[in-house]
Chains A and B, each alone.
Chain A
Amino acid sequence: MRFLPAGDLAVSVELGEEISVEVNTRVRALEFLIRQKGLTGVLEMVPTFRSLLVYYDPRAVGYEAVCEAIAELAPQASTAVLPPARAVELPCCYDTELGLDLEAAAKRLDLPVDELVRLHSGAEYLVYFIGFTPGLPYMTGMPERILLPRLETPRTKVPAQSVGIGGIQCCIYSVDSPGGYWILGKTPLRLYDPEAPDPILLRPGDRVSFRPIDRAEYDRVAAQVEARTYTPVIA
């Protein structure tokens, strides 16, 4: 474990070097423990792949003291302390109009489009953390057979709610933004909805699966989302 100062208001706590479920689970468990114990002076935290950024108030606690308190909790940070993960089912329309790269990705992988869809929607994805833009999940869980390097030329604008893959990661864009993932489809659900009482759909630690839907169902669900009558399937 390493403590790296991030200015006068934050410290980055690194729990490992690599991207792995094991390291990320400890990061999320450490965040959970710190919140549960209500460590003095801790204001907020940002879990990522292998580190936890802890914002603290130096008027309430010193750097050494906050690091020591975190170090004391770290040995207990494991799956055992985390509450059960939520399972979130996202409907996803894999068609060539919304899945901007669906055919190109299938061709590159030397797979029929249907098989690529079957493999992608048959897997379960772990949300390591939310970041970059509001509500955007960093997820892994991709079947080996559909691993692809990211696009050589990133798009300058990917529509929000597009579902993409690249490297070992699966991504869902939460707002219109530039992006380098291969876009396989689109979910009618909003990952970020600034007008909703709770604007963010996914949480760190969620287990996400995709349910393939056709365009007619996509349009139907999108209309319900717009009318705020749709309830996502979360178990």
Chain B
Amino acid sequence: MTVRILDAGPLTTVQDLGRTGHLRYGIPPSGPVDRESFLLANRLVGNDDTAAGLECTYMGPRFQADRGCAIAVTGAAAPVTVNGEPAPRWTTIVLRAGDQVRVGAPRVGVLSYIAFAGGLDAPVVLGSRSTYLRGRLGGLEGRALRQGDVLNVLEGPLPAVRSLATPPPVGGEQETIVRVVLGPQADRFTDEGIRTFLGSAYEMTQQSDRMGARLRGPRITHTRGHDIVSDGIALGSIQVPGDGQPIVLLVDRQSTGGYTKVATVCSFDIGRIGQVKPGRSLRFRAVTVDEAHRLLRESDASLDGIATEEIA
């Protein structure tokens, strides 16, 4: 079956869990910024976690299915309609041939995810269907969706209709708390700089994208210069250039760089960063590597344990 894009929205891309093994050639993993919302969308339509779906930034698309199928919309609090009638998020939605779906602009949060039962088809490039926009790689011709695009959906059984008992509060917190492990270059900052980093609120700016979240707030001061011998940049690395303003590197990041990195955001909190709207703020809280691993196990378990109830 196919899905025709009637309106693409400002930045809608095909993503799966991303590509592994190509960072040594400068090719980032890509994949969804908010992995948790992405996985839940797939699970609500009975897909494997690895199936490809859509990531939508701010405004979602308007599209039409040519045959009956099932979809789920998760992530930011964006209004969903089917043929103009409100439809639920975090729930399997069964479509009939010709139904028109619209995912609007979110009240809260930034990123919405749309999963299709069976998963989207797109050429597998270097082991993944994910779109890497700057490298014009993967997805649909390496670019964001445009009006008139037609996406193929792989055949899959029609799933049972499920809903999440308690959807996660995406982007809805007053002030988002993000857990970090200090380092690898925390020793290149003054004690005052580290205190400022951990004790202040940092505001999301408009210049943020899938490559990195640029934040604004009290200056994080260095001890001796902000340049290092270029080294690898991990998911969540927080670079602090000379202006003392942090940049959190995300899924489309450059593989290496020469700025000092004060800390690294834990993998399970990357999605929370992606859901913070420009103008809203977040705070960093330091944890040890051991604590981070314990929290990761808890996060995995809670994701696997999120109750889906059959409603139908």
Contact = CB atoms under 8 A, between A and B. Distances in A.
A51 B231 contact: yes
Contacts of B135: 133-134, 175, 192, 194
A44 B28 CA distance: 11
A111 interface: no
B234 A9 contact: yes
B289 A8 contact: yes
A49 B231 CA distance: 7
A175 B28 CA distance: 15
Interface string B268-309: 100000000000000000000110110111001000000000
Contacts of B311: none
Interface residues of B, number: 47
Contacts, number: 146
A41 to B, nearest CB: 12
A130 B84 CA distance: 50
Given A8-B289, A46-B255, A51 B232 contact: yes
Interface residues of A, number: 46
A44 B21 contact: yes
B254 A55 contact: no
A174 B232 contact: no
A18 B289 CA distance: 27
B26 A7 contact: no
B266 interface: yes
B254 A131 contact: yes
Given A58-B296, A131-B26, A134-B26, A6 B234 contact: yes
A51 B289 CA distance: 20
Contacts of A5: 181, 183-184, 264, 289
A132 B254 CA distance: 5
Contacts of A17: 229
A227 to B, nearest CB: 20
A98 B234 CA distance: 35
9 contacts: A7-B264, A8-B295, A43-B21, A48-B231, A53-B233, A55-B23, A131-B26, A133-B135, A194-B125
Interface of B: 20-27, 125-126, 134-137, 142, 180-181, 183-185, 229-237, 254-257, 261, 264-268, 289-290, 292-293, 295-297, 300
